[in-house]
Amino acid sequence: MSWTAAIGLEVHVQLRTASKMFCGCPTSFGAPPNTQVCPVCLGLPGAMPVMNLEAIRLTVMTGLLLGCRIATRSRFDRKNYFYPDMPKNYQISQYDQPLCLGGALDIGPAGARRSIRLRRIHLEEDVAKSLHYGNSSGIDFNRAGTPLMEIVTEPDLRTPEEAHEFLTELQRVLEYGRISECNLEEGNIRCDVNVSVRRGEDGALGTKTELKNLNTFRGVHRALAAEIRRQIAVLESGGRIVQETRRWNDAAGVTEPMRTKEEEHDYRYFPEPDLMPIELSAEQIEVWRAELPELPAARRVRFVAQYSLPEYDAGVLTADRGVADFFEATVRICGRPKSVSNWVMTEVLRFLSERGATIGHLPLTPAALAELITAVEEGRVSALAGKEVLADLLERGGSPEDVIRAKGLAQVSDDAAIAEWAAQAIAQHPGPAAEYRAGKAAALQFLIGQVMKLSRGRANPKLAAAELRKRLDAG
């Protein structure tokens, strides 16, 4: 029997709140060290925490997006351990009464979707950040107290690829729900994993190890692959897996022992006496439920049904909530969903990926794109010229009509001008002209292309084709 892995994830997500979890300090990234601090997040003697209700709302929204049961009563607990990055030497977290229980997230290709069960989602505070120099260390408390949501899965994932896909899909959901900035470079999403292997698919899970220090999704994938290989090698050589926490050494590409089960902290959780329990009414939860955005998977299905788009288009367009919103806003103005989809998927997305930009920051508006597409569809500007106009709009914004006028790109349907370009094309390319006359119809496309080139894209392609055909057939 072959080996199967069972992988569980603990994903820490920094929430998109203006202020910290238990004080009013800002959460913005990149400020000079220790400038976003106060007595509360520094853990000064006598300071007390106050709950950030927006963090609670965002956690409940996440729970609703992932199909969790929302606890009408939950509470915070103190998790005790000494750590220089933790100002109070306890972390305010949630132990046995988390905000969200259960839930699931689907992964896998259409037709073979698999549900990955969640165990819980809870809320806690982030720690500070140590900076090490030569023989001294400094601590930046700007991050201390940032709201941190922890999503814990059941060990339902089977491969490093699945873990990677789960994280990518989760990131998409969090972006869709406007839950987190999801900026991986800034550490908005961090992940611990646990993994075990066993023979075959059934039976009891093997002994698991926990892996720390996984900073990227790719790191998760590589660490899991290495750890699964290590565990199989140990077991196949007759050894036993020790339950322990291991550190991923990214440079060496191996996992290394960090601490064994016996050395694990006893966190001595107990209810946080400085905070009241969180009580959520059913009405409040329903109000939040009504604010939920449509998730990518559901939107994909709707795009196919509502706009008659191919599966592929729907998938590309809904991958990013901003792009999907932009697409729908454009279609609301000009209709023609398939045309809009083509323009967005090719020109707009290429521009975004070249610039590493997001659609929300573009000067191009859905109204401008709708106007341009309408102009192309109605033959007022050629598709080729349309691309040139769009390039301009993507850079500078403005109205398509102005750009068309300024660049003289309005489609030319004037017979005399087209006749002249057609004559020129035939004269310059006698070869293809002869081929056409000899019965090779495809040669006409080449000549149409030449007319478009001569006219800088302005010639009406239908009229150009007719004119070329007329001239070539005539003699």
Is 430 a binding residue for other proteins by CB under 8 A? The answer is no
- For residue 42, the minimal CB distance to other proteins (Å) is 7
Of residues 443-462, those binding other proteins (CB under 8 A): none
- For residue 139, the minimal CB distance to other proteins (Å) is 7
- For residue 147, the minimal CB distance to other proteins (Å) is 16
Helices (H), 273-414: 282-290, 296-307, 311-318, 321-334, 337-343, 349-355, 366-377, 383-396, 400-407
- For residue 287, the minimal CB distance to other proteins (Å) is 22
Q: 111, 118, 71, 77: which is closest to 94 by C-alpha?
A: 77
Is 139 a binding residue for other proteins by CB under 8 A? The answer is yes
Q: Do residues 71 and 99 lie in contact, with contact meaning Cβ atoms separated by under 8 Å?
A: yes
Specify the residue, 16 or 75, whose C-beta has the smaller distance to other proteins: 75
Give the CA diameter of the chain: 98
Q: 190, 243, 231: which is closest to 214 by C-alpha?
A: 190
Helices (H), 183-276: 217-236
Give the β-pairing of 278-279 and 136-140.
unpaired
Specify the residue, 46 or 439, whose C-beta has the smaller distance to other proteins: 46
Q: Given the rule CB under 8 A, which of 10-18, 88-96, 224-232, 333-341 is the region that contacts other proteins?
A: 88-96
- For residue 155, the minimal CB distance to other proteins (Å) is 23
Specify the residue, 92 or 167, whose C-beta has the smaller distance to other proteins: 92
Q: 389, 414, 409, 385: which is closest to 399 by C-alpha?
A: 389
Residues 266-305 vs other proteins: string with x where CB under 8 A? Answer: x-xxx--xxxx-----------------------------
Q: Do residues 195 and 227 lie in contact, with contact meaning Cβ atoms separated by under 8 Å?
A: yes
Q: 302, 291, 298: which is closest to 331 by C-alpha?
A: 302
How many residues comprise the chain?
Answer: 475
Of 18, 50, 357, 434, the one binding other proteins (CB under 8 A) is 50
Residues 247-266 vs other proteins: string with x where CB under 8 A? Answer: -------------------x
Q: Given the rule CB under 8 A, which of 25-33, 77-85, 371-379, 386-394 is the region that contacts other proteins?
A: 77-85
- For residue 312, the minimal CB distance to other proteins (Å) is 52
Token duo for residue 461: 């392609």
The b-or-e profile of 57-93 (16+ CB within 10 A means b, else e) is bbbbbbbbbbebebbeebbbbbbbeeeeebbbebbbb
Specify the residue, 137 or 168, whose C-beta has the smaller distance to other proteins: 137
Specify the residue, 242 or 276, whose C-beta has the smaller distance to other proteins: 276
Residue type, 370: A
Question: CA 229, CA 361: separation in Å to the nearest integer?
Answer: 44
Is 82 a binding residue for other proteins by CB under 8 A? The answer is yes
Of 19, 31, 47, 429, the one binding other proteins (CB under 8 A) is 47
C-alpha distances out from residue 89 to 43, 78, 124, 460, Å? 9, 10, 14, 74
Specify the residue, 96 or 291, whose C-beta has the smaller distance to other proteins: 96
Q: Given the rule CB under 8 A, which of 79-87, 193-201, 296-304, 328-336 is the region that contacts other proteins?
A: 79-87
Q: 112, 100, 190, 103: which is closest to 158 by C-alpha?
A: 112
Question: CA 390, CA 206: separation in Å to the nearest integer?
Answer: 57
Q: Sheet holding 77-80: strands in order across?
A: 90-93, 77-80, 270-271
- For residue 43, the minimal CB distance to other proteins (Å) is 5
Specify the residue, 147 or 160, whose C-beta has the smaller distance to other proteins: 147
DSSP assigned state of 345: I
Question: CA 74, CA 5: separation in Å to the nearest integer?
Answer: 33
Question: CA 43, CA 56: separation in Å to the nearest integer?
Answer: 22
Q: How many other C-beta atoms are found inside a 10 Å radius of the C-beta of residue 137? A: 11
Is 216 a binding residue for other proteins by CB under 8 A? The answer is no
- For residue 122, the minimal CB distance to other proteins (Å) is 19
Specify the residue, 80 or 216, whose C-beta has the smaller distance to other proteins: 80
Q: Given the rule CB under 8 A, which of 84-92, 115-123, 168-176, 245-253 is the region that contacts other proteins?
A: 84-92
Q: Do residues 127 and 90 lie in contact, with contact meaning Cβ atoms separated by under 8 Å?
A: no
Of 30, 32, 45, 356, the one binding other proteins (CB under 8 A) is 45
Q: Is 214 helix (H, G, I), strand (E, B) or coil?
A: strand
Specify the residue, 80 or 159, whose C-beta has the smaller distance to other proteins: 80
- For residue 272, the minimal CB distance to other proteins (Å) is 8
Q: 81, 15, 84: which is closest to 51 by C-alpha?
A: 15
Specify the residue, 44 or 357, whose C-beta has the smaller distance to other proteins: 44
Of 89, 249, 346, 445, the one binding other proteins (CB under 8 A) is 89
- For residue 89, the minimal CB distance to other proteins (Å) is 4
- For residue 365, the minimal CB distance to other proteins (Å) is 42
Catalog residues that contact other proteins under the rule CB under 8 A. Answer: 39, 42-51, 78, 80, 82, 84, 87-90, 139, 266, 268-270, 273-276
